[in-house]
A and B are shown apart, each in its own frame.
Chain A
Amino acid sequence: MKKILFAIVLFGAVGMSQAQVPGFQGKRCVISAQLGVGHGGIFGRPGAMPSLVPTLNIEYAMKRHISIVPYYSFMYYSYKSYNNNLYYNDIPAKDLKNSMMMHQIGCNFKFYRKGLGYLAPVGRYFTLGAFYNYTSQNIYTDFDRVTLSYPSVERMHKYKAQTHNFGITGGIGRTFVIARRMTIDFGGNINLMPYFKLNSGKGGEDIVENEARRNMLLRNIWQIYLGIGFLAF
């Protein structure tokens, strides 16, 4: 509720200050849902499919060629642990999946290409923005060896790592309008998180931790997206 109120106040203030912002036929706000295809972060994971990143955008044209876009993105994927060919495991095979979950909120500024003749919120643009990202990873590892019996039993252990980061983003894209009110938005962006700190759980081992770090570094580092939305007001 607070967020909504904040948005209303922000948009209201921007609206008051810019009486000459035409938007698209007077509509300055676009609410859209995007589906992004991004880098999952894992090198060499089996069948390395890119990750899918759904995003909810609220875009508001604050100037003739600039709009502000608060958004929320979510990413979740899982894949089979490369340690799942074990003799024995006390964890059911179906649960032996590494996973990564990401929540990202941020705010972009879309700069519609004035020189090319576009007006916010339609046309070609480039974006610049900042975001907050929370990511958690579960990685199953076999380091926890039980050697009391013979042959030795390797027990799978869940290694959990979390990060809280701020990052910056930039990209390009284009928005066009169909059927008077519907918008289609496609483009790509690069998300950079200059620093991250791993809050690893117990059971960390160098090799696992490195894998986690690598995943963190590469997760969502690039994304190509396609969005569908509508001109709200």
Chain B
Amino acid sequence: MARYLTLLLLVVLLGKVSPLSAQFEKNYEPIKSTGSLPKDFTTLSSQKYNSAKQNVKKQSNRKSRKTFLLKSSFGLDEILLSGKVLFNDPMTTYLNQVADRLLEHDKALRDKLHFYIIRSTSVNAFATNEGSIFVTMGLLAELENEAQLAFILAHEVVHVNEKHSIERYIQSEKIQKGKGVYNARNSSDKLIEKCLFNKEQETEADTKGADIFFKSPYSTEQVIGVFDVLKFAHLPFDDVTFKPEIFENETLKFPDDYTLKVTRPISLDDDTNDIQSTHPAVKFRRGKIEKLIAGKNNSGKQTYLVGIDKFKHNRECARFEISRLYVLHHDYEAAIYNSYMLLQKYPDNLFLKKNIAFSLAALGDYENESEFREVHTDHEKIEGKQQALYYLFYKLDSVNGDLKTIALAYIVKVRQQYPDDADLKATYDYVLSIMPKNEVRNIDYFYKDLVVKVDSQPQQIAVVNVDTLNNIDSTMDKYAKLRNVQQVTAQAAQAIFDNHYAHYALTPYLKDSSIVQEYEKAVSERKEKDKIEDANQNSRRSKKRYKIYALGQDKVVFVDPAYSRLDARKKEKFRLLKSEGGKLDFAARLQYNAKVAKLSSEMIDSKNLKASDIVEYNELAFLNEYISEKVMHSDDVSIISYERSRVLELAKKYGTDNFVWSGVISYTDKQRVNSRLAILGIFMPIYLPFMISHYVNQGQYTYFYTLVYDVKTDEVKLSNFRLVNNRTKGYILDSNIYDVMNQIKSKPKAPKK
């Protein structure tokens, strides 16, 4: 009985010790912000700027300082409202807890600062003038321990405390203008001067940051490793041997030469050339900190203060998150490798398998459209064991159609494990739909049985056939020999084709008649779709330059309307204050014109968020990711969106499939006076309207665009780009906005019988 009780206690304890890792065993849910929106998110940039500039009245370089504050306020908001910044989530909460411990000796300073996690794969941390410190997920994924995180935060705190960003801006302006000692420097020298100043600041941040760190209860024992994190920031979070078996099945086996036996070792050399770098070389920084650390007493100090479990849990979250971010950034090979490494630890994790499935589908699509180079990284540039993966894709690209075949085989395999997953089903349907496209692979391509033993190395058969060429009868004349060569080469090619490994990709699954039926259905649907697309293209070419749509929709959701005011005549071309005002006005006009067009609408607007709008903020974050992922694809690639089920949930919530991205660029070019017209206008009244028109409109442009995405079909239903040769006036916007709303609302004409 005591033994059972002990066992039970052990189970309970183990459960308590590693409840966090259990979260990753089966699946992973991307993290979201929670709670109320911080004030930073709900205050307009112009208001922030107005309050910040009050403090620069009596300081030197007032103009530069004001310009900096303007740029900084708007730049910060651009980051905050991009949806990439997290708050009140477990990761940011942890980050703040570390900051609390780091700065517990200086409460006043702690209260001035805000710490955020930002969704980014880069290994970085940065601070703004306003006291916001951002740590990327990429950095968190790479760190070894909590003390290293605290050390990086201490470094960033110094940047804020010493107002490094504003001083850097002012100094940069001086250098650029060639003021004082910078007079008559050429551009190369100016760049070096700027870098030198930045390096001085970084060194100061390292030194003073170390002081802050030493005052904290964090131990210095393992902190020096942070410089290894920086040095190897270009590498994934681990170096794991990649085995192509992950994509194989009972009959699908890659040829031997698809596996890279020896990978390029990771370079351990220190790069000490930092002349044109904003940061000192890692070697120098490490040396300096090592000296400072030497002899420090670590008694009573710890590497983990918030907790090792929390650190590891959040680091694991970051690693899952960057797998997702790689997919969103179209870095599919990195996404697969990252997911592959995590799969070694969590072999049953659906999220990772879905990531791999989607990435394979995307690579297959790019390869199918002969755009593979857009998303592929040359394996020769890759260091470490991950090189084997990049090499495999390089080899898969050598036979057109193989990548999509591998994608299909992998997805079918995973689907057998998760038949009800909607995202996997969508990816599966998509890959099926591209199988008959371009490099046509009908169901007949796949062998139902093992025709040739797979391990018999089909390529070698071909090679043997080619080798027989050497035994050509010497009595043959020149042309007979050449004909023989051609014949045998063709036979060899046929042998390779007949025994090509990809024929066996679906062999284990073709016994399931439903797969065959789905495949054939996809082929027929593709043919129909191609016919319609061809017809549309022909009619477009022959009829109209601008397409007029009639979508027949009743409701749309506007997603974060954009407005940019640019003035080429001014030194600061991007007019930030006017842009913000214009954005608010444009958003209101969109809604008004939709109403006039009797089109029901809702809006998710980053500049109109209230503290309670956390749901909208998360939706905005997701939709920003959705649209950037969509628009970054090459023209011919029309892959479905990543995380389809999530976007469909949104469509259901809003009661429409139509999400609208719209924006305005208001641009003023440099003035070019037409003196001939001026003279004509003065002396000949008939030219007066021309002259007035010329001077009113000269160099004024309004660029208006609208994209309507049908998130259900993943298609662009309407894309409208217009350039109006007029300054951006309300009536010009109203005229164009209403037209687009009308096109969304108008019912399509019934086809002529």
Q: How far is the CA of A55 from the CA of B571 in the complex (A)?
A: 47
Q: How far is the CA of A30 from the CA of B597 in the complex (A)?
A: 19
Given A22-B739, A25-B593, A26-B597 in contact, is the A188-B746 Cβ separation under 8 Å?
no
> Does A218 have its Cβ within 8 Å of any Cβ on chain B?
no
> Does B735 have its Cβ within 8 Å of any Cβ on chain A?
yes
B735 lies within 8 A of A122 (CB): yes
> Does B219 have its Cβ within 8 Å of any Cβ on chain A?
no
Q: How far is the CA of A119 from the CA of B738 in the complex (A)?
A: 11
> Does B277 have its Cβ within 8 Å of any Cβ on chain A?
no
Which of the residues A117, A190, A222 comes within 8 Å of B723, measured between beta carbons? Answer: A117
Number of interface residues of B (CB under 8 A): 33
Contact residues of B between 689 and 744, Cβ < 8 Å to A? 689-690, 692-693, 697, 702, 704, 722-726, 729-732, 734-736, 738-739, 742-743
B685 lies within 8 A of A222 (CB): yes
Which of the residues B689, B731, B736, B739 comes within 8 Å of A186, measured between beta carbons? Answer: B689
- Contact mask for chain A residues 1-42; partner B; CB cutoff 8 A; 1 contact, 0 none: 000000000000000000110101110000000000000000
> Does B516 have its Cβ within 8 Å of any Cβ on chain A?
no
- Contact mask for chain A residues 151-185; partner B; CB cutoff 8 A; 1 contact, 0 none: 00000000000000000000111101110000000
B685 lies within 8 A of A123 (CB): no
> How far in angstroms is the closest Cβ of chain B from A204?
32
Q: Which residues of A are found within 8 Å of B604, using beta-carbon distances?
A: none
> How far in angstroms is the closest Cβ of chain B from A34?
13
> Does B749 have its Cβ within 8 Å of any Cβ on chain A?
yes
B743 lies within 8 A of A20 (CB): yes
Contact residues of B between 512 and 540, Cβ < 8 Å to A? none
B731 lies within 8 A of A24 (CB): yes
B726 lies within 8 A of A177 (CB): no
A118 lies within 8 A of B738 (CB): no
Given A25-B596, A117-B723, A119-B736 in contact, is the A20-B693 Cβ separation under 8 Å?
no
B726 lies within 8 A of A26 (CB): no
Given A20-B548, A117-B726 in contact, is the A123-B732 Cβ separation under 8 Å?
yes
A123 lies within 8 A of B686 (CB): no
> How far in angstroms is the closest Cβ of chain A from B703?
9
> Does A187 have its Cβ within 8 Å of any Cβ on chain B?
yes
Given A22-B738, A25-B734 in contact, is the A174-B749 Cβ separation under 8 Å?
no
Which residue of B has the minimal Cβ distance to A173?
A: B689
Given A222-B685, A224-B689 in contact, is the A26-B735 Cβ separation under 8 Å?
no
A188 lies within 8 A of B726 (CB): no
Q: How far is the CA of A231 from the CA of B436 in the complex (A)?
A: 54
> How far in angstroms is the closest Cβ of chain A from B472?
69
> Does A207 have its Cβ within 8 Å of any Cβ on chain B?
no
> How far in angstroms is the closest Cβ of chain A from B132?
40
Q: How far is the CA of A211 from the CA of B478 in the complex (A)?
A: 102
> Does A110 have its Cβ within 8 Å of any Cβ on chain B?
no
> How far in angstroms is the closest Cβ of chain A from B701?
9
Q: Which residues of B are found within 8 Å of A122, using beta-carbon distances?
A: 731-732, 735
Which of the residues B686, B690, B692, B738 comes within 8 Å of A26, measured between beta carbons? Answer: B738
Q: How far is the CA of A133 from the CA of B139 in the complex (A)?
A: 81
> Does B550 have its Cβ within 8 Å of any Cβ on chain A?
yes
A174 lies within 8 A of B734 (CB): no
> Does B493 have its Cβ within 8 Å of any Cβ on chain A?
no
A117 lies within 8 A of B724 (CB): yes
Q: How far is the CA of A22 from the CA of B735 in the complex (A)?
A: 8
Q: How far is the CA of A25 from the CA of B598 in the complex (A)?
A: 11
Which of the residues A20, A118, A123, A172 comes within 8 Å of B746, measured between beta carbons? Answer: A20
Q: How far is the CA of A24 from the CA of B731 in the complex (A)?
A: 8
Which residue of B has the minimal Cβ distance to A124?
A: B693
Q: Which residues of A are found within 8 Å of B597, using beta-carbon distances?
A: 25-26
> Does A64 have its Cβ within 8 Å of any Cβ on chain B?
yes
Given A122-B735, A124-B693 in contact, is the A19-B746 Cβ separation under 8 Å?
yes
> How far in angstroms is the closest Cβ of chain A from B589?
10
B725 lies within 8 A of A117 (CB): yes
Q: How far is the CA of A80 from the CA of B725 in the complex (A)?
A: 47
Q: Which residues of A are found within 8 Å of B686, using beta-carbon distances?
A: 188, 190, 222, 224
A224 lies within 8 A of B685 (CB): yes
> Does A148 have its Cβ within 8 Å of any Cβ on chain B?
no
Q: How far is the CA of A122 from the CA of B702 in the complex (A)?
A: 15
Given A19-B746, A26-B742 in contact, is the A118-B735 Cβ separation under 8 Å?
yes
> Does B688 have its Cβ within 8 Å of any Cβ on chain A?
yes
> How far in angstroms is the closest Cβ of chain A from B745?
10
Q: Which residues of B are found within 8 Å of A190, using beta-carbon distances?
A: 686
Which residue of A has the minimal Cβ distance to B684?
A: A222
B738 lies within 8 A of A174 (CB): no
A118 lies within 8 A of B742 (CB): no
Q: Which residues of A are found within 8 Å of B746, using beta-carbon distances?
A: 19-20
A119 lies within 8 A of B739 (CB): yes
Which of the residues B690, B734, B749 comes within 8 Å of A19, measured between beta carbons? Answer: B749
B702 lies within 8 A of A117 (CB): yes
Q: Which residues of B are found within 8 Å of A177, using beta-carbon distances?
A: 730-731, 734-735
A24 lies within 8 A of B735 (CB): yes
A64 lies within 8 A of B548 (CB): yes
Which residue of A has the minimal Cβ distance to B690?
A: A172
Q: Which residues of B are found within 8 Å of A178, using beta-carbon distances?
A: 731
Which residue of A has the minimal Cβ distance to B704?
A: A117
B688 lies within 8 A of A116 (CB): no
Q: How far is the CA of A222 from the CA of B689 in the complex (A)?
A: 12
Which residue of B has the minimal Cβ distance to A188?
A: B689
Q: How far is the CA of A177 from the CA of B724 in the complex (A)?
A: 16
Q: How far is the CA of A116 from the CA of B685 in the complex (A)?
A: 25
Q: How far is the CA of A151 from the CA of B736 in the complex (A)?
A: 76
B729 lies within 8 A of A176 (CB): yes
Q: How far is the CA of A177 from the CA of B737 in the complex (A)?
A: 15
Q: How far is the CA of A224 from the CA of B693 in the complex (A)?
A: 13
> How far in angstroms is the closest Cβ of chain B from A184?
10
Q: How far is the CA of A19 from the CA of B702 in the complex (A)?
A: 26
- Chain A CB count within 10 A is highest, among B550, B686, B749, for B686
Which of the residues B688, B693, B723, B738 comes within 8 Å of A25, measured between beta carbons? Answer: B738
Q: How far is the CA of A190 from the CA of B690 in the complex (A)?
A: 13
Contact residues of A between 120 and 134, Cβ < 8 Å to B? 122-124
Q: How far is the CA of A122 from the CA of B729 in the complex (A)?
A: 12
A116 lies within 8 A of B739 (CB): no
A176 lies within 8 A of B736 (CB): no
B596 lies within 8 A of A118 (CB): no
Q: Which residues of A are found within 8 Å of B736, using beta-carbon distances?
A: 117, 119
> How far in angstroms is the closest Cβ of chain A from B464?
67
A26 lies within 8 A of B693 (CB): no
Q: How far is the CA of A25 from the CA of B599 in the complex (A)?
A: 12
> How far in angstroms is the closest Cβ of chain A from B131?
44
> How far in angstroms is the closest Cβ of chain B from A25?
5
- Contact mask for chain B residues 276-307; partner A; CB cutoff 8 A; 1 contact, 0 none: 00000000000000000000000000000000
Which residue of A has the minimal Cβ distance to B688?
A: A224
Q: How far is the CA of A138 from the CA of B722 in the complex (A)?
A: 54
Q: Which residues of A are found within 8 Å of B722, using beta-carbon distances?
A: 117
Contact residues of B between 647 and 706, Cβ < 8 Å to A? 685-686, 688-690, 692-693, 697, 702, 704
Q: How far is the CA of A142 from the CA of B627 in the complex (A)?
A: 84
B689 lies within 8 A of A172 (CB): yes
* 17 cross-chain CB contacts under 8 A: A22-B738, A22-B742, A24-B734, A24-B735, A26-B738, A64-B739, A116-B726, A117-B724, A118-B732, A118-B735, A119-B735, A122-B731, A123-B726, A172-B693, A173-B689, A177-B735, A188-B686
- What 10 pairs across the A-B complex have the smallest Cβ distances? A117-B724, A177-B731, A22-B739, A116-B725, A188-B689, A25-B738, A22-B742, A25-B596, A222-B686, A117-B722
Known: A22-B739, A22-B742, A190-B686. 14 other contacts (CB 8 A): A19-B746, A26-B596, A116-B724, A116-B725, A118-B726, A118-B732, A119-B739, A123-B726, A123-B732, A124-B693, A124-B725, A172-B693, A174-B693, A188-B685
Q: Which residues of A contact B (CB under 8 A)?
A: 19-20, 22, 24-26, 64, 113, 116-119, 122-124, 171-174, 176-178, 186-188, 190, 222, 224
Q: Which residues of B contact A (CB under 8 A)?
A: 548, 550, 593, 596-597, 685-686, 688-690, 692-693, 697, 702, 704, 722-726, 729-732, 734-736, 738-739, 742-743, 746, 749
